[in-house]
Copies of this chain bind each other. A is one copy, B any other.
Amino acid sequence: MPSPAFRKSFRVTWVDTDAAQVVHYSNYFRFFERTEEEFYRQLGFSFTDTAKRGLWFPRVEAFCQYKKPARFNDLLEVELTIEEMREKSMKLGFKVFNKETTALLATGYVVIVAADKQTGRATKIPEDIVEKFKPFIK
Protein backbone atom coordinates (compact mmCIF):
# COMPACT_ATOMS: atom_id res chain seq x y z
CA MET A 1 0.00 0.00 0.00
CA PRO A 2 1.48 3.34 -0.97
CA SER A 3 2.15 5.79 1.84
CA PRO A 4 -0.10 8.82 1.76
CA ALA A 5 1.20 12.05 0.33
CA PHE A 6 0.31 15.47 1.63
CA ARG A 7 -1.17 17.83 -0.95
CA LYS A 8 -1.62 21.57 -1.01
CA SER A 9 -3.10 23.73 -3.77
CA PHE A 10 -2.54 27.38 -4.51
CA ARG A 11 -2.70 29.87 -7.34
CA VAL A 12 0.26 31.43 -9.08
CA THR A 13 0.19 35.11 -8.14
CA TRP A 14 1.45 37.92 -10.37
CA VAL A 15 4.65 38.56 -8.44
CA ASP A 16 5.64 34.88 -8.82
CA THR A 17 6.10 35.46 -12.56
CA ASP A 18 9.03 37.04 -14.39
CA ALA A 19 9.52 38.75 -17.74
CA ALA A 20 9.45 35.37 -19.52
CA GLN A 21 5.79 35.27 -18.35
CA VAL A 22 6.36 32.10 -16.37
CA VAL A 23 6.98 31.43 -12.67
CA HIS A 24 10.55 32.37 -11.72
CA TYR A 25 12.59 29.27 -11.01
CA SER A 26 13.49 30.30 -7.46
CA ASN A 27 9.81 30.44 -6.52
CA TYR A 28 9.35 26.69 -6.75
CA PHE A 29 11.45 26.46 -3.59
CA ARG A 30 9.02 28.86 -1.95
CA PHE A 31 6.13 26.66 -3.09
CA PHE A 32 7.92 23.67 -1.54
CA GLU A 33 8.27 25.53 1.74
CA ARG A 34 4.69 26.73 1.82
CA THR A 35 3.56 23.14 1.35
CA GLU A 36 5.92 21.98 4.09
CA GLU A 37 4.46 24.59 6.44
CA GLU A 38 0.91 23.41 5.74
CA PHE A 39 2.02 19.83 6.27
CA TYR A 40 3.41 20.67 9.71
CA ARG A 41 0.28 22.64 10.51
CA GLN A 42 -1.85 19.61 9.69
CA LEU A 43 0.40 17.48 11.90
CA GLY A 44 -0.11 19.98 14.69
CA PHE A 45 3.09 21.98 14.95
CA SER A 46 5.02 24.78 13.26
CA PHE A 47 8.54 26.17 12.86
CA THR A 48 7.78 28.59 15.70
CA ASP A 49 6.80 25.73 18.07
CA THR A 50 10.02 23.87 17.42
CA ALA A 51 12.00 27.13 17.69
CA LYS A 52 10.55 27.50 21.21
CA ARG A 53 11.95 24.04 21.98
CA GLY A 54 15.37 25.27 20.89
CA LEU A 55 15.37 23.69 17.45
CA TRP A 56 15.87 25.08 13.96
CA PHE A 57 15.32 23.09 10.81
CA PRO A 58 17.77 24.63 8.34
CA ARG A 59 17.88 23.33 4.81
CA VAL A 60 21.24 21.82 3.83
CA GLU A 61 20.37 20.88 0.25
CA ALA A 62 17.75 21.94 -2.24
CA PHE A 63 17.12 20.65 -5.74
CA CYS A 64 14.52 21.21 -8.41
CA GLN A 65 14.06 19.86 -11.93
CA TYR A 66 11.82 21.94 -14.17
CA LYS A 67 9.71 20.14 -16.75
CA LYS A 68 7.01 22.55 -17.89
CA PRO A 69 6.44 26.21 -17.06
CA ALA A 70 3.75 27.45 -14.68
CA ARG A 71 2.01 30.70 -15.58
CA PHE A 72 0.07 33.43 -13.84
CA ASN A 73 -3.25 32.27 -12.41
CA ASP A 74 -2.44 28.57 -12.79
CA LEU A 75 -3.82 26.45 -10.00
CA LEU A 76 -0.92 24.37 -8.70
CA GLU A 77 -0.99 21.28 -6.56
CA VAL A 78 2.15 20.43 -4.63
CA GLU A 79 2.61 16.90 -3.34
CA LEU A 80 4.96 16.30 -0.42
CA THR A 81 6.39 12.94 0.60
CA ILE A 82 9.05 12.05 3.15
CA GLU A 83 11.74 10.47 1.02
CA GLU A 84 14.12 9.64 3.86
CA MET A 85 14.01 9.93 7.62
CA ARG A 86 17.31 9.80 9.48
CA GLU A 87 18.19 10.41 13.09
CA LYS A 88 19.13 14.07 12.59
CA SER A 89 17.89 14.85 9.12
CA MET A 90 15.16 14.18 6.62
CA LYS A 91 14.64 14.51 2.91
CA LEU A 92 11.32 15.86 1.73
CA GLY A 93 10.30 15.21 -1.88
CA PHE A 94 8.01 17.49 -3.85
CA LYS A 95 6.06 17.27 -7.07
CA VAL A 96 4.38 20.32 -8.54
CA PHE A 97 1.39 19.70 -10.78
CA ASN A 98 -0.88 21.93 -12.78
CA LYS A 99 -4.07 20.89 -11.01
CA GLU A 100 -6.31 21.59 -14.01
CA THR A 101 -4.28 19.85 -16.71
CA THR A 102 -2.67 17.35 -14.24
CA ALA A 103 0.68 17.99 -16.00
CA LEU A 104 3.76 17.48 -13.84
CA LEU A 105 5.63 20.80 -13.86
CA ALA A 106 8.54 20.18 -11.52
CA THR A 107 10.00 17.71 -9.04
CA GLY A 108 12.48 18.41 -6.30
CA TYR A 109 13.58 17.89 -2.75
CA VAL A 110 15.04 19.58 0.27
CA VAL A 111 17.27 18.00 2.92
CA ILE A 112 16.59 19.43 6.35
CA VAL A 113 18.68 19.01 9.49
CA ALA A 114 17.49 19.38 13.06
CA ALA A 115 19.86 21.88 14.68
CA ASP A 116 20.30 23.13 18.21
CA LYS A 117 19.56 26.86 18.11
CA GLN A 118 22.29 27.62 20.68
CA THR A 119 25.19 25.58 19.37
CA GLY A 120 24.14 25.32 15.72
CA ARG A 121 25.02 21.59 15.84
CA ALA A 122 22.94 18.84 14.27
CA THR A 123 20.77 17.14 16.84
CA LYS A 124 18.23 14.29 16.98
CA ILE A 125 14.78 14.97 15.60
CA PRO A 126 12.50 14.73 18.67
CA GLU A 127 10.60 11.44 19.03
CA ASP A 128 7.17 13.04 19.06
CA ILE A 129 7.88 14.68 15.72
CA VAL A 130 9.22 11.46 14.22
CA GLU A 131 6.01 9.72 15.34
CA LYS A 132 3.88 12.28 13.54
CA PHE A 133 5.95 11.94 10.37
CA LYS A 134 5.88 8.13 10.28
CA PRO A 135 2.69 7.66 8.25
CA PHE A 136 4.15 9.81 5.49
CA ILE A 137 7.53 8.07 5.15
CA LYS A 138 7.82 6.55 1.70
Max chain B C-beta neighbours (<10 A), residue from A27, A38, A46, A72: A72
Task: Say yes or no: A34-B13 contact (C-beta < 8 A), given A26-B27, A27-B26.
Answer: yes
Inter-chain contact B48/A59, CB cutoff 8 Å: no
Is A1 part of the binding interface, using a Cβ–Cβ cutoff of 8 Å? no
How far is it, in angstroms, between the C-alpha of A15 and the C-alpha of B56 when the chains are bound? 15
Inter-chain contact A14/B21, CB cutoff 8 Å: no
How far is it, in angstroms, between the C-alpha of A69 and the C-alpha of B60 when the chains are bound? 10
What is the copy number of this chain in the assembly?
4
Inter-chain contact A25/B19, CB cutoff 8 Å: no
Inter-chain contact A61/B72, CB cutoff 8 Å: no
Inter-chain contact A25/B62, CB cutoff 8 Å: yes
Task: Say yes or no: A61-B64 contact (C-beta < 8 A), given A18-B17, A27-B26, A72-B19.
Answer: yes
Inter-chain contact A33/B48, CB cutoff 8 Å: no
Cβ 8 A contact of A65, one of B11, B26, B61, B73: B61
Chain B residues in 8 Å Cβ range of A73: 37, 41, 46-48
Q: A: which residues have CB within 8 A of B?
A: 11, 13-15, 17-22, 24-27, 29-30, 33-34, 37-38, 41, 46-48, 56, 58-66, 69, 71-73, 110
